[in-house]
A and B are shown apart, each in its own frame.
Chain A
Amino acid sequence: MSLDTVLLAQTTPEREQPFAELGLKADEYQRIREILKRRPTSSELAMYSVMWSEHCSYKSSKVHLKQFGEKAPPSDALLVGIGENAGVVDVGQGYAVTFKIESHNHPSFVEPYQGAATGVGGIVRDILTMGARPIAVMDPLRFGPADAPDTRRVLPGIVAGIGGYGNCLGLPNIGGEIVFDETYAGNPLVNALCVGVMRHEQIKLAKASGAGNLVVLFGAKTGGDGIGGVSVLASETFGSHTPTKRPSVQVGDPFTEKVLIECSLEIFEEDLVVGIQDLGGAGLSCATSELASAGTGGMKISLDDVPLRDPSLSPEEILMSESQERMCAIVEPSKLKRFLEICKKWGMSRSQSSVK
């Protein structure tokens, strides 16, 4: 296999790259070349394309969202505010609740059952990432007119996906909304909320600090699902030897998520992590970048060590894969042995790299 390495990128500046197909504008591509002082490798291009997408960077809505932080009245009850995976509110007697709501509209429109199910899975991992035990979910839904054929196509699957995934985790769905309106025809809104509870001292943050600490990926193995647009890079690089294309919508396994929850809570209980982040949209690219940027330095990650469901995945695809039920933890070397023992006990696959 010929990898698109940094060396190759330096010596082949003229190689055309499919930045437009990846959703980057010409000026954004130029900016990447300026930052790197060369053309990006395929992997770098994949990471930039996804990290600079609206989905990950909120580039157009950032200006509005910022106001939540700026205009919020100061409060002692807010233990963790904007910028982390979820907010945390003090509820007294040493306890705190954390909750977050997130949309999963497009995936649910494309594949109603899996789209809605993984929407629940993602929000539950966000709550888990804060160090809390998830205890309940809620789902406000918006559909087109009740008698529209497209509503009939998506509604049963969305409802079943939400129920099926939550039930398997033992999380009661404690409420929600359903609205039918012309506005939502062809664009149903599927929002998933999760609430979790913890003690104050159990709060965890998504931050990679401490040079020499280890970055451990644990949970489900990484496969070719949810790769979406990045496959244009893989097909460029590897010609016909590329893995079978999977749907761009992720596929959930609530059983693995339940095991991941218990595994993570046991790891938290023994205080074995410095920082932790779940893998959601843009997979490893997003999780590792966010952990590193919130921390004190960078990190070195070895994609060769990522446990794969499909060994033919290219580096770009491993970086982008949205395989569900995965977490990334920052672990001190002295605690690694115990951390891996707990992963092994729960049957979670794991790999390790290092914080620089």
Chain B
Amino acid sequence: MKVGVVTFPGSLDDRDAARAVRAVGGEAISLWHADPDLHGADAVILPGGFSYGDYLRCGAISRFSPVMTEIISQAKAGMPLLGICNGFQILCESHLLPGALTRNHELHFLCRDQKLVIENNSTLWTSDFQIGDEITIPLKNGEGSYQCDDTTLAVLESEGLIVARYLGENPNGSRDAIAGITNAQGNIVGLMPHPEHAIDTLTGPSADGLPFFTSILNRLVKA
């Protein structure tokens, strides 16, 4: 099972995302922003970082890179796609997920181990969780405040499209403490915190991030 990890100029967490895929027994393949070929990837991860320097707006330039054209069309057809941090911002800029990530409400870059609660385990990326699972994984960003209009928020809430929420004090002013959302089909997930940095206690605060990767692997093996 091949999981493609995209490297944009300025990507930071592509190596950790690939490492997480390998840690659960998957094959990680490196995808290059300028190459539209997905090289047979069964699923794709858009990693964190500062793609294109976050210039103009986070994710605004990456969304137009050659690899994204193919990813957008395949994701619309059901390919599993996970966007983490900058990847989540790219998913919103690509209109694959609704809303936008804006400056944290206190206007500071945050870097901390963040407690989350999982609220949806029917996506392709969260099926190995139980609803109500509390996990702790790193959160590190300057633009992580999830915002959307009231109508969108009502849809997200009523259709159960919120994947995870921040527990405790809302770290960045996200609406309804949203940390991650999915599309109606459950194949596309955007997440602000970083599960790929929490796959073992040697290098992360926990191994709580692993189920995101085992979920997709188990799903792909069964498919």
Given contacts A168-B50, A168-B53, A170-B49, contact A255 B109 (CB under 8 A): no
CA distance A256 to B52 in the complex (A): 9
The 4 closest A-B pairs by CB, nearest first: A255-B53, A170-B12, A168-B50, A259-B9
CA distance A256 to B34 in the complex (A): 17
A259 B109 Cβ-Cβ under 8 A: no
B55 A255 Cβ-Cβ under 8 A: yes
B9 A254 Cβ-Cβ under 8 A: no
CA distance A258 to B109 in the complex (A): 18
A128-180 at interface with B (beta carbon < 8 Å): 163-164, 167-170, 172
Is B132 interfacial (CB-CB < 8 Å)?
A: no
- Residues from chain B with Cβ under 8 Å of A186 in the complex: none
Nearest A residue to B142, CB-CB: A167
**Which secondary structure dominates where chain A touches chain B?**
helix
Shortest C-beta distance, B87 to chain A (Å), equals: 14
Is B93 interfacial (CB-CB < 8 Å)?
A: no
- Residues from chain A with Cβ under 8 Å of B13 in the complex: 170
**Which secondary structure dominates where chain B touches chain A?**
loop
Interface string of A286-299 (1 = CB under 8 A from B): 00000000000000
Given contacts A170-B49, A253-B53, contact A163 B109 (CB under 8 A): yes
- Residues from chain B with Cβ under 8 Å of A259 in the complex: 9-10
Nearest A residue to B111, CB-CB: A172
Shortest C-beta distance, B5 to chain A (Å), equals: 14
Binding site for A on B (CB under 8 A): 9-10, 12-13, 34, 49-50, 52-55, 109, 111, 142
Q: How many residues of A contact B (CB 8 A)?
A: 16
Interface string of A335-356 (1 = CB under 8 A from B): 0000000000111000000000
- Residues from chain B with Cβ under 8 Å of A167 in the complex: 50, 109, 142
Shortest C-beta distance, B144 to chain A (Å), equals: 13
Binding site for B on A (CB under 8 A): 163-164, 167-170, 172, 253-256, 258-259, 345-347
CA distance A170 to B85 in the complex (A): 13
Contact of A255 among B34, B52, B111, B142 (CB under 8 A): B52
B9 A347 Cβ-Cβ under 8 A: yes
Shortest C-beta distance, A117 to chain B (Å), equals: 13
A254 B53 Cβ-Cβ under 8 A: yes
CA distance A256 to B50 in the complex (A): 11
Shortest C-beta distance, A344 to chain B (Å), equals: 10
CA distance A255 to B11 in the complex (A): 10
Shortest C-beta distance, A136 to chain B (Å), equals: 13
A255 B9 Cβ-Cβ under 8 A: yes
The 13 sampled A-B contact pairs (Cβ below 8 Å) are A167-B50, A168-B50, A168-B53, A172-B111, A254-B53, A255-B10, A255-B50, A255-B52, A255-B53, A255-B54, A256-B53, A258-B10, A347-B9
- Residues from chain B with Cβ under 8 Å of A254 in the complex: 50, 53
- Residues from chain B with Cβ under 8 Å of A164 in the complex: 109
CA distance A255 to B50 in the complex (A): 7
- Residues from chain B with Cβ under 8 Å of A172 in the complex: 111
CA distance A255 to B12 in the complex (A): 11
Nearest A residue to B34, CB-CB: A345
- Residues from chain B with Cβ under 8 Å of A258 in the complex: 9-10, 12, 50
